[in-house]
Amino acid sequence: MRHPQRPFPSPHAPSAPTALGNLPAELNRFVGRENELVRLAQLLDESRLVTIVGVGGVGKTRCATRIAALLKKRYCDGVRMAELSDVHDPELLEHALVDALGLTDHTSRPPRTTLIEHLAGRRLLLVVDGFEHLVDACAELVRELLRRAPGLRMLAVGRLPLELDGELTYPLAPMTDEDAMLLFAERAAAVRPDFRLTDDNRSAALELCRRLDGIPLALELAAGRLRALSTDQVLQHLDDRFRLLTGSSRSALARHQTLRTAIGWSHELCAPEQRLLWARLSVFARQFDLEAVEYICSGADLPADTVLDVLSGLLAQSVVVREDSARGTRYRMLDTVREYGAEWLAATDDTDRLRRRHRDWFLGLATWCELDWFSPRQGEVAARVESELPNLRRAMECSLEIPGEAHLAQYLAGTLWFLWVGCGRLSEGRHWLDHVLEEEDTPYDSSRLKALWVLGYVAVLQGDPVGAVSALQECRDEADRADDSTALAYAVHRMGCLSLVTDDMARAQELLDDALRRYRELGELNSNVLMAQVELAMAVGFHGDLDGAAAICEEVREICEDHGERWALSYALYVLAFAASQRGRPDRARELLGQSLAISHTFHDLLGSVLALELLALITAIEGDAAEAAVLQGAADRIWPSVGLPLFGSAHYGQPRVRCEELARRQLGDVRYESGLRAGGELDPDAAVARALASGPADRPETPARLPGTLPGPGKTRRPAASRTSGRGGPERW
């Protein structure tokens, strides 16, 4: 073996290569990936072995060759690349590396000896690509080469790491939207020189990039279709993307001829149980967790206690991607990978069974989350259902598509009331509730009644009294006929809520008192019941009884604190702030509104947020800062269209705005007031809330003010008509 200091090679040394590299020439321009290239360069400084892993078609090879070309000046003996995808016999692995290094050796020495002798005294970067089907043999060889050749650095490229000591793994993610658009546009121009991103095709191109998960191979194949189709037409055909995306450049590697081939290459290399789990995981939408996988995907052929190991294998091969966040560890498959698995699941004739298991799991999850909403875990529940929303949607779709199971979709849509109402998804909730109620399995079903009163609730909050009356009256009539006292209580409650926002305070008090009586008889206590009390307090307060309203909400606040409930608490705090403002205590009102707004914003409850902002704007005007009040009012104006009819058309709910505008216009004049509104309208909800919470009186004079003509003088109180009272004058604790 040649010594590093020896001036001449040994007689048995192979001839040296005539060039310092064999990297394939780039046939088109490398696009994007700047951050990835910087990170790879850093990793190669830190370790002698770096492995790029990722799903087929994500651009691993292209990134590897690009970074190798950029760094070639660092290695005095060059950069070499070994393509191993067409090497199927492990015994040919060493020969492949000899060829890649450009060595010629006619001796009878083992090729490994040749490799070691050549590399031992050289400073060289060796790229090995497509080793996954030879991973054990490749890992063993790489280990020895690195041990015997201290100047050698290696960049491995495959679906899974080599799992060697000192190895740094770099998972290559799909391209960002920006990079994906650049790539698509560049490749499209290669097949259609007149192609440019314009206002007419930009949105379709962006949707195309997102639908293809930002996978470079898929984007390039899609761009190739522009020879015959427009961008919109390519997008329309993506439902059958594997049929569409056929054909590639003749110069591409064989396994990259089609997207199917690229992903199929990964599939063929999986163990049977991994292929089975891959297929079953296709029933999930986006993210999933281990617990769900163990329930849904296990069976006699895949025991639950083996699922973790099999899933780990798919993770190692980049079929499944791990995503860690504040919500815990979750997993995901790219759409293209998932759809490939779905085809295999269909081929086993097991799709319907797996979809039902998926649906049943998420029915159970929704049921648990509804119960746990009324607990200190309310924030966790909100985060969980948000992350599981794609799967919950799929569960509803499954029930609607299976004859005789629409009632399960109705149950799920109704059970998710806390997501629609409490987490700011009124619009989507309305969509699903309308949709599931188009189906009717039987003349009466408790699930249908629940969906009806939830639909009525959502319609009320959207400012749609006609839709609300229709749903709630149907619910009440059917509940009467079926003697369903629970559905009847909720229907009465939401009718009272409708009366409240349409300014019929007497009717609102009557219905809400009735609903609270029914809830007590049923033993019902949850966030809805607390909201009934808060709504009763609003009716009482709007009717002139500030003390009665405050007493009810103080009681609600205690119950919320006992149970860890925060969503209903935010509305109770709003009413208490309203009462404080009317009593000439803007400082106390601001404190309470700050708490209310912070909670509402945390839950993405736009209704609670905008109500608090409206009242905060008035408080700010009362404190003497009319300019800031105008900005806050403008911010509220921007949010209302995302909620529904502004202020519900209610004179009572509209009083803070009316009074704020009167005060602010008087101090600022029309021009400055309108300018402040426009400035507030430019704030997104996050910025608006941050500004509102950061603002304060700061040397402003405290000027007591009341909403004109809405409240009685001090001393006049009224207890809720149907509420049992404690010694403090509020409803007795439950």
pLDDT tens for each residue of 680-696: 998 888 899 999 998 76
Write down the H helix ranges in 377-504: 378-401, 406-415, 417-422, 426-436, 446-461, 465-482, 485-501
The structure tokens listed for 121 are 């005294």
DSSP secondary-structure letter at 730?
Answer: S
Interstrand relation of 328-332 and 49-53 (parallel, antiparallel or unpaired): unpaired
Nearest to 335 by CA among 486, 218, 253, 462: 218
Check if the beta carbon of residue 168 is closer than 8 Å to that of residue 43. Answer: yes
Mean pLDDT to the nearest integer, 493-519? 95
Residue 516, pLDDT > 70, answer yes
Residue 665, pLDDT > 70, answer yes
Helix/strand/coil for 48:
coil
Check if the beta carbon of residue 100 is closer than 8 Å to that of residue 19. Answer: no
Residue 118, pLDDT > 70, answer yes
Helix/strand/coil for 400:
helix
The structure tokens listed for 77 are 């003996």
Better pLDDT: 261 or 670: 670
pLDDT at 554: 96
Cα 578 to chain centroid, rounded: 35
Residue 134, pLDDT > 60, answer yes
Identify the residue whose tokens are 């409708």: 498
CA distance 49 to 43: 9
pLDDT at 24: 78
Interstrand relation of 321-325 and 328-332 (parallel, antiparallel or unpaired): antiparallel
pLDDT at 325: 74
∠ CA(367), CA(370), CA(375), 5° rounding?
130
pLDDT at 703: 37
Residues 468-496: pLDDT tens digits? 999 999 999 999 999 999 999 999 999 99
CB count in 10 Å sphere of residue 239: 10
CA distance 658 to 42: 60
DSSP secondary structure letters along 169-202: EEE-PPPPHHHHHHHHHHHHHHH-TT----TTTH
For 646, residues 6+ apart whose C-beta sits below 8 A from its C-beta are: 463, 637, 640
Residue 513, pLDDT > 90, answer yes
Residues 410-441: pLDDT tens digits? 999 999 999 999 887 887 888 899 999 998 76
Phi-psi group of 411: left, alpha or beta (phi > 0 → left; psi -120 to 50 → alpha; rest → beta): alpha
CA distance 550 to 724: 15
pLDDT at 300: 92
Mean pLDDT to the nearest integer, 605-623? 92
The structure tokens listed for 191 are 């097949």
Say what percent of the chain tops pLDDT 70: 86
Given pLDDT bands bounded at 50, 70 and 90, which one contains residue 723?
very low
The structure tokens listed for 482 are 């079926």
For 439, residues 6+ apart whose C-beta sits below 8 A from its C-beta are: 400, 406, 409, 410
Check if the beta carbon of residue 332 is closer than 8 Å to that of residue 343. Answer: no
Residue 106, pLDDT > 70, answer no
pLDDT at 265: 62
DSSP secondary-structure letter at 98?
Answer: H
CA distance 503 to 488: 23
Dihedral angle over CA of 15, 19, 22, 25, nearest 10: -160
Mean pLDDT to the nearest integer, 88-115? 79
CB count in 10 Å sphere of residue 684: 11
Cα within 13 Å of Cα(110), Cβ side = 8
- Angle between helix axes 546-563 and 567-582 (nearest 10 degrees) is 150
Secondary structure of the chain: what % helix, strand, coil (to 5)?
Answer: 65, 5, 30
DSSP secondary-structure letter at 732?
Answer: P
pLDDT at 645: 61
Instruction: Supply the Cα-derived Rg of the chain in whole angstroms.
Output: 33
CB count in 10 Å sphere of residue 287: 19
pLDDT at 227: 76
- Segment (H or E) for 212: none
Given pLDDT bands bounded at 50, 70 and 90, which one contains residue 647?
low
Residue 308, pLDDT > 70, answer yes
pLDDT at 6: 32
Check if the beta carbon of residue 515 is closer than 8 Å to that of residue 506. Answer: no
Better pLDDT: 731 or 225: 225
Identify the residue whose tokens are 């990964």: 266
∠ CA(201), CA(205), CA(206), 5° rounding?
120
Given pLDDT bands bounded at 50, 70 and 90, which one contains residue 315?
confident
pLDDT at 58: 85
Residue 718, pLDDT > 60, answer no
pLDDT at 150: 94
Nearest to 366 by CA among 443, 418, 440, 298: 418
Q: Which long-range contacts link 558-563 to residues 24+ away (Cβ below 8 Å)? A: 558/733, 559/525, 559/530, 559/733, 559/734, 560/530, 563/374, 563/375, 563/376
Residues 268-281: pLDDT tens digits? 878 999 999 999 99
Residues 549-600: pLDDT tens digits? 999 999 999 999 999 999 999 999 999 999 999 999 999 999 999 999 999 9
Lowest model confidence (mean pLDDT) among 137-146, 435-444, 533-542, 579-588:
435-444
The structure tokens listed for 270 are 């999986």
Cα within 13 Å of Cα(50), Cβ side = 24
pLDDT at 252: 52
Residue 443, pLDDT > 60, answer no
Given pLDDT bands bounded at 50, 70 and 90, which one contains residue 697?
low
Helix/strand/coil for 129:
strand
pLDDT at 337: 83
Write down the H helix ranges in 483-605: 485-501, 505-522, 527-542, 546-563, 567-582, 586-602
CA distance 732 to 721: 13
Residue 49, pLDDT > 80, answer yes
Mean pLDDT of the chain: 84
pLDDT at 259: 61
- Segment (H or E) for 51: strand 49-53
pLDDT at 188: 87
175-to-178, 180, 188, 207 alpha-carbon distances in Å: 8, 5, 17, 14
Mean pLDDT to the nearest integer, 282-287? 90
| Burial bucket for residue 588 (CB in 10 Å: 0-12, 13-18, 19+) | middle
383-to-157, 422, 690 alpha-carbon distances in Å: 36, 12, 21
pLDDT at 105: 65
The structure tokens listed for 87 are 């090497």
Better pLDDT: 181 or 709: 181
Given pLDDT bands bounded at 50, 70 and 90, which one contains residue 674?
very high
